Amino acid sequence: MKTPWTDQKIEEVVGNLLRTGVMLSAVVVLFGGIIYLARHGTEPADYGVFHGEPEELRTVGGIVRYAFSFHGRGIIQLGLLLLIATPVARVAFAVWGFAAERDRLYVFFTVVVLLILLGSLIGSSAGV
Amino acid sequence: MNVLEFTLLLCSGSLLAGLVGSLTGLGGGVVLVPLLTIFFHVDIRYAIGASLVSVIATSSGAAAAYVKEGFSNIRIGMFLEIATTLGALLGAFIAVWVPTRGLAIIFGVVLIGSAYLSRKPRSAAEREVPQDALATRLRLNGSFPDTQGIRNYNVKNVPAGFGLMFGAGTMSGMLGIGSGAMKVLAMDQAMKIPFKVSTTTSNFMIGVTAAASAGVYLSRGYIAPGLVMPVMLGVLAGSLLGTRILVKAKTKWLRLGFSLVIVVLGIEMIYQGIKGMI
């Protein structure tokens, strides 16, 4: 690519990345929602008492397995994982962008943010 | 009420919340949690989980529109995100230990505080902020397109801004909100960053901050797919609609009205928290 990477250019690409991520996740959530409603629409709704979601809807591995066995709630949760991953992808892209600008200080800062995000997602979904 | 009716009602309610959130500039999360707990009698932990996820959706969706205008400062955002993400992790862990009625009371106070902050006249723009050694070393000073061409600005009080951002992150992680009002306070008031740059950069940071605590909420079982589905889709649609209205309508009275609604919701949250109804 011939165009040099500037802050503005990085931000534009990042903006599109965010929009795509959100729209993709909304479509997956809607799809899962339709399946869920078709199967469970007539059951009573109860969120007044906190039970906590079951294991298969709490970890990344569990969600992926549950979604691919075509469970509505699993597919919704997969869409939500995509949504959570969108800002993470944005930070990962910024690491790359600052590296292309040869801005070591900001490569360092963005890597710190990325590690915090990944640590939170991976650390907590490992079942701690 | 069965799941289908509940879903449809919730979706319309969330659409309204998203609309209110974007018109007042307070974000959808601020009205979502009271809506879910007070009107739908949802447990506050499920409500916070649903709100947090919706905050990611609206922030990321709106950011795409803002970045093209060139107002947001990606360096300020990235640097301060170190503070907000660490704060968000702390907040998410605190939320697990605080009893639900305590969360309701804190939420009510924050609600009233945000309504106040959003109505407070902003400080007159200080055009000539002297160069700050730390801000210069961190390359935080920037520029943005103004009516008279490109305007340069300097940033100051970096440690104070960083500290406030940590607080904003903690609020976000504990209550499942974007804490946009507090983020703007840190940038606009403390760091003297121009208002437009502050608001757009804040919006950009909200999604990353929320993503940091989302993992903790997910693993604790706070994110209920059947509940989040209508909420997230409704809020997203509402806030997209809101940004369109914002361009056309005269929103002064609308904003005042909504701010009053938010104060009333805040008082109700505190009342129900004290009474132990939440």
Question: Mind listing the pLDDT tens digit for each residue in A48-104?
Answer: 889 888 888 988 888 999 999 999 999 999 999 999 999 999 899 889 989 988 999
Question: Per-residue pLDDT for B209 more than 90?
Answer: yes
Nearest-neighbour CA in chain B from A26: distance (Å): 7
- Amino acid letter, residue A26: A
Strand, coil or helix: B150: strand
Tokens in use for B256?
């005042």
Average pLDDT over residues A8-37: 88
Give me the residue label for tokens 């009625």: B101
| Residue B99 at interface with chain A, using a CB cutoff of 8 Å | no
Query: Tens digit of pLDDT for each residue in B236-246?
Result: 999 888 877 76
Phi-psi region of A80 (alpha: psi -120 to 50; beta: other; left: phi over 0): alpha
Q: For B146, which DSSP code? A: E
What sign for the dihedral angle of Cα B144, B145, B146, B152? positive
Query: A128 pLDDT band (50/70/90 cuts)?
Result: very low
Average pLDDT over residues A23-45: 95
Q: What pLDDT is recorded for position B203?
A: 82
For all residues of chain B together, what is the average pLDDT? 87
Nearest to A125 by CA among A53, A58, A37, A79: A58
Question: Per-residue pLDDT for B34 more than 80?
Answer: yes
Q: What pLDDT is recorded for position B145?
A: 81
Residue range of the domain that includes B169: 3-275
> ipTM of this predicted complex?
0.90
**Which residues neighbour B37 within 8 Å (Cβ) at sequence distance 6 or greater?**
B43, B44, B47, B104, B269, B272, B278
Tokens in use for B73?
């400062």
Average pLDDT over residues B215-228: 93
Q: What pLDDT is recorded for position A1?
A: 46
| Residue B212 at interface with chain A, using a CB cutoff of 8 Å | yes
Query: Tens digit of pLDDT for each residue in B144-182?
Result: 887 778 888 999 899 999 999 999 999 999 999 988 888
**Which residues neighbour B128 within 8 Å (Cβ) at sequence distance 6 or greater?**
none
Distance from C-alpha of B19 to C-alpha of B11, rounded to nearest angstrom: 12
Average pLDDT over residues B44-59: 93
Q: What pLDDT is recorded for position A9?
A: 74
- The secondary structure of B59-128 as a DSSP string is HHHHHHHHHTTT-S-HHHHHHHHHHHHHHHHHHHHHHHHS-HHHHHHHHHHHHHHHHHHHHSPPPPP-S-
Number of helices (H), then strands (E), in chain B: 11, 2
Q: Do B64 and A18 touch (CB under 8 A)?
A: yes
What sign for the dihedral angle of Cα B247, B115, B62, B35? negative
Q: Which of A47, A105, A125 minimises the CB distance to B227?
A: A47
Q: Which of A25, A42, A120 minimises the CB distance to B89?
A: A120
Q: Which of A5, A18, A98 to mutate to test the interface with B (most CBs of B within 10 A)?
A: A18
Query: Tens digit of pLDDT for each residue in B126-147?
Result: 567 788 889 998 989 988 887 7
Strand, coil or helix: B194: coil
Give me the residue label for tokens 């804190």: B106
Least confident of A9-13, B56-60, B79-83: A9-13
Average pLDDT over residues B86-94: 95
Give me the residue label for tokens 């840190």: B186
Q: Decide if B1 contacts A45 (C-beta within 8 A).
A: yes
Distance from C-alpha of B58 to C-alpha of B73, rounded to nearest angstrom: 19
Nearest-neighbour CA in chain B from A66: distance (Å): 12
Number of domains chain B is built from = 1
